[in-house]
């Protein structure tokens, strides 16, 4: 890592302000339904405690739209962190102002303080310099470890870095290390599996892959836009008609660049996107007019699995079908199994893809699951992430 990280700075006896990604999913009673993101911050927090720092954590949670909304309070996260880390976690009911200042001032080395949701202030997303300065005043050093928001320039992850010495935490360092295995001289053959909802979300990623990958395997709803562009009728499947020219151009460029560009041979179709509906497998040239394509078929899974098996680097972004409904999860499951069995480097990027691989039980069989959906997508598309760019070089 060419940027300063935790091991490049002296944190002994310092108040270290850490931007973490505690944007956890909550149910309607504010119970945390998945604490993966809290656990992902532990290496940085534990390192700081061990090295005699006072740890001040800040994060956003959900979309309170710049207003104080108790349903987006980080207080339940403080409690959960306390259980996980086995240590008292103090909580300030505001991220700036007197209470936060006092709590930060009183905090001793080896202690942890969590500040309230930074997005209770509209200044957060505007990267307001005065707001950022108030946050920065709470600490001696800033550490950015929130990979999930690294693609956004907000006050708590970019603005603060202008006021106090800054470094990256271990989570961001690990994310970049893995994503770079796909981005910088990937071991070949390099296969990219792309699915999910829309081509429009992933055009930049596809552009980048056309220069790097040996094979691109398409699934998910985006397959129907490619198929329609080639003249197939796709029934009632999700299609982005305005992206048909882009789809054609992508396939043309794949040919020019000698990238093997694969579309499914067969697809699962149904009349409704619902659990328990009747479904069939059909060749992609025989999708009935009244049906929706909702998954890739078994022949496609087999063919893709052969390619995945022989790959040295695999990245996967976007589920192969509407995996949330079990009838349409077999394609995603089959591909997950193939990726899990691949001895090469296997990287999962994308929020829903990560959820799918976890739900299907293959999480511990891949090299890396990115904790940041949008951030990993942008990084893999070759963009600089502002939350990383702002940190000084070593
Ligand atoms: P990621 O978050 O991994 O980048 P996306 O957000 O692009 O993935 O897409 C995930 C969504 O795409 C899932 O909710 C899934 O149900 C949906 N999806 C996949 N295939 C289809 C399909 N054939 N028709 C409709 N939706 C689909
Ligand atoms: Mg998504």
Peptide bond into 45 cis (omega under 30): no
| Ligand 1 touching residue 321 (CB < 6 A) | yes
Active site residue 374: yes
pLDDT at 64 over 90: yes
Residue 375: inside a domain, yes or no? yes
Q: What is the pLDDT of residue 366?
A: 96
Six-digit token string for 184 = 């910088």
In this prediction, residue 159 has a pLDDT band, given cuts at 50, 70 and 90, of: very high
Q: In what order do the strands lie in the sheet with 292-296?
A: 279-283, 266-270, 292-296
Q: What domain range is 269 assigned to?
A: 185-380
Q: What is the pLDDT of residue 210?
A: 96
Same domain, 168 and 206: no
Distance 175 CA to ligand 1 centre (A): 23
In this prediction, residue 356 has a pLDDT band, given cuts at 50, 70 and 90, of: confident
Percent of the chain with pLDDT over 90: 90
State the virtual CA torsion across 174, 177, 182, 188 in degrees, nearest 10. -120
Backbone angles phi, psi at 105, to 5 degrees: -60, -40
Active site residue 351: yes
DSSP 86-136: TS-EEEESSSSHHHHHHHHHH--TT-EEEE--GGGSHHHHHT-HHHHHHHH
Adjacent-strand bridge partners of 17: 56, 142
Same domain, 46 and 135: yes
Helices (H), the chain: 36-40, 42-50, 75-85, 97-106, 122-126, 129-136, 170-183, 203-212, 222-229, 244-256, 298-309, 330-341, 351-359, 373-380, 386-389
| Ligand 1 touching residue 220 (CB < 6 A) | yes
Six-digit token string for 193 = 């599996």
Percent of the chain with pLDDT over 70: 100
Q: What is the pLDDT of residue 392?
A: 97
CATH number at residue 130: 3.40.50.1260
Same domain, 19 and 166: yes
pLDDT at 358 over 90: no
Same domain, 262 and 357: yes
CB 316 within 8 A of CB 347: yes
Adjacent-strand bridge partners of 262: 217
Same domain, 163 and 64: yes
CB 35 within 8 A of CB 358: no
Of 140, 144, 130, nearest in space to 164 by CA: 140
Query: What angle is formed at CA 356 by the lines to CA 215 and CA 83, rounded to 5 degrees?
Result: 130
pLDDT at 144 over 90: yes
Same domain, 157 and 246: no
Same domain, 199 and 165: no
83-116 tens-digit pLDDT: 999 999 999 999 999 999 999 999 999 999 999 9
Residue 394: inside a domain, yes or no? no
Q: For the CA atoms of the chain, what is the radius of gyration?
A: 23
Same domain, 36 and 164: yes
Residue 242: inside a domain, yes or no? yes
Whole-number Å distance between alpha carbons of 242 and 387: 33
Average model confidence (pLDDT) across the chain? 96
Domain end residue (candidates: 113, 138, 173): 173
| Ligand 1 touching residue 349 (CB < 6 A) | no
**Judging by DSSP bridges, how do beta strands 292-296 and 266-270 pair with one another?**
antiparallel
Q: What is the pLDDT of residue 354?
A: 87
Look at the chain and report how many structural domains it folds into: 2
CB 115 within 8 A of CB 77: no
Per DSSP, the three-state class of 149 is helix
Residue 179: inside a domain, yes or no? no
Mutate to test the pocket of ligand 1, among 322, 347, 373 (most ligand atoms within 8 A of CB): 322
171-223 tens-digit pLDDT: 999 999 999 999 899 999 999 999 999 999 899 999 999 999 999 999 999 99
Catalytic residue, chosen from 62, 66, 374, 382, is 374
Same domain, 150 and 230: no
pLDDT at 372 over 90: no
* Nearest-10 crossing angle of helices 203-212, 373-380: 40
Distance 173 CA to ligand 2 centre (A): 23
Q: What is the pLDDT of residue 201?
A: 86
Domain end residue (candidates: 140, 173, 206): 173
Residue 389: inside a domain, yes or no? no
Same domain, 234 and 323: yes
Q: What is the pLDDT of residue 112?
A: 98
Same domain, 126 and 221: no
pLDDT at 162 over 90: yes
Residue 373: inside a domain, yes or no? yes
CB 62 within 8 A of CB 120: no
Residue 139: inside a domain, yes or no? yes
Domain end residue (candidates: 138, 173, 208): 173
Whole-number Å distance between alpha carbons of 317 and 295: 15
Same domain, 356 and 224: yes
In this prediction, residue 352 has a pLDDT band, given cuts at 50, 70 and 90, of: confident
> Which residue's CA is the nearest one to ligand 1's atom 5?
196
Six-digit token string for 359 = 């739900």
Six-digit token string for 276 = 């328990």
Residue 11: inside a domain, yes or no? yes
- Mean pLDDT value across residues 268-276: 95
Whole-number Å distance between alpha carbons of 376 and 143: 19
pLDDT at 351 over 90: no
Six-digit token string for 272 = 């409704």
Whole-number Å distance between alpha carbons of 198 and 272: 19
pLDDT at 318 over 90: yes
Ligand nearest to the CA of 218: 1
């Amino acid at each position: 890592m060419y940027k300063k990280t935790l091991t490049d700075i002296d944190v002994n006896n310092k108040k270290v302000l850490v931007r973490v990604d505690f944007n956890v999913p909550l149910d309607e009673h504010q119970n945390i339904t998945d604490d993966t993101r809290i656990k992902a911050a532990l290496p940085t927090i534990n390192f700081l405690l061990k090295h005699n720092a006072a740890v001040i954590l800040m994060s956003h949670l959900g979309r309170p739209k710049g207003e104080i909304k108790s349903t987006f309070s980080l207080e339940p996260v403080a409690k959960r962190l306390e259980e996980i880390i086995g240590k008292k976690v103090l909580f300030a009911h505001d991220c700036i102002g007197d209470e936060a200042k006092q709590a930060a001032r009183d905090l001793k080395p080896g202690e942890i303080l969590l500040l309230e949701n930074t997005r209770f202030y509209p200044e957060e997303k505007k990267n307001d310099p005065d707001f950022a300065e108030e946050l920065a005043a709470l600490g001696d050093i800033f550490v950015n470890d929130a990979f999930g928001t690294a693609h956004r320039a907000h006050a708590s992850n970019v603005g603060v870095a202008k006021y106090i010495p800054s470094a990256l935490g271990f989570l961001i360092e690990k994310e970049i290390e893995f994503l770079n295995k796909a981005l910088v001289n990937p071991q070949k053959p390099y296969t990219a599996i792309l699915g999910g909802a829309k081509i429009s979300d992933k055009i930049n990623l596809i552009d980048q892959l056309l220069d790097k990958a040996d094979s691109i395997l398409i699934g998910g709803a985006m397959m129907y836009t490619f198929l329609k562009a080639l003249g197939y009728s796709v029934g009632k499947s999700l299609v982005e008609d305005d992206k048909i020219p882009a789809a054609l151009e992508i396939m043309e460029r794949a040919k020019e660049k000698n990238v093997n560009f694969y579309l499914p041979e067969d697809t699962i179709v149904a009349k409704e996107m619902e659990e328990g509906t009747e479904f069939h497998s059909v060749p992609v040239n025989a999708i009935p007019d009244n049906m929706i394509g909702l998954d890739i078929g078994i022949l496609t899974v087999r063919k893709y699995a052969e390619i995945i098996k022989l790959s040295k680097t695999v990245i996967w972004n976007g589920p192969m079908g509407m995996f949330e409904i079990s009838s349409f999860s077999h394609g995603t499951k089959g591909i997950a199994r193939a990726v899990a069995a691949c001895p090469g480097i296997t990287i999962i990027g994308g929020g829903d893809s990560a959820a799918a691989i976890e739900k299907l039980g293959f999480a511990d069989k891949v090299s890396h699951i990115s904790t940041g959906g949008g951030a990993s997508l942008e990084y893999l598309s070759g963009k600089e992430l502002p939350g990383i760019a702002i940190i000084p070089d070593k």
